[in-house]
Structure 1
């Protein structure tokens, strides 16, 4: 699956704030994503990010 900056993805597990939607801020070897519930920003390695993603919610056009 290919990911681009600005896309919204849904993770398999919910964040402690209760939301499971994340906005992609940076791609590459590491991914920087922002929780849409509490706006916390985290960094994940590419393999961990790809394993965590359940689906794309909004695709950038």
Structure 2
């Protein structure tokens, strides 16, 4: 199981239909996870289990405030 958090940049297994990017930014976390395409800006929401199944890897971690 991979660690990911709010504002992280992640790579999904499949490319977005816009064909501009496989990279997405996590913009909402909860029972559902909302991600935004880094290519066209489209947002998609997945249940957490489906998101974890489609996630390939975490590209960049967001800065955490402590």
Q: TM-score range by the shorter chain?
A: over 0.9
Q: How many residues align?
A: 61
Larger Rg over CA atoms: 2
Residue pair 1:3, 1:27 contacting (<8 A) in 2 also:
no
Q: Which runs of 4+ in 1 moved over 6 A?
A: none
Using structure 2 for the length normalisation, give the TM-score: 0.86
What is the deviation of 1:28?
1.4
What is the deviation of 1:14?
0.4
Unaligned runs of 5+ in 2: none
Using structure 1 for the length normalisation, give the TM-score: 0.92
